[in-house]
Structure 1
Amino acid sequence: MIYEDESYAINGAMIEVSKQLGSGFLEKVYQEALMIEFQCKNV
């Protein structure tokens, strides 16, 4: 895979947001949470 490290970081951030928020929110909530997580992990 060309961007293996980047893909791993993105997937990790997505999993962390999913674990923290769970289900039931609108897509916008997950988008905002992912942006914050990406900033925290320097993705």
Structure 2
Amino acid sequence: MDNIRLEQFRILFLNKKNILIVDEVLSQGTIDQAAVYIHVR
């Protein structure tokens, strides 16, 4: 990921054996910040 020029906030979903299932980008921002908005559905 060192070739990405944006700050990213990612969520990693793991199974019981800590194997990666999904790598999802929640937010992207500038080179030094990414806004994360928390809300309840």
Specify if TM > 0.5. no
Could you say which structure has the larger radius of gyration?
A: 2
Bigger proportion of residues as strand: 2
What TM-score do you get using the length of structure 2 for normalisation? Answer: 0.23
What TM-score do you get using the length of structure 1 for normalisation? Answer: 0.23
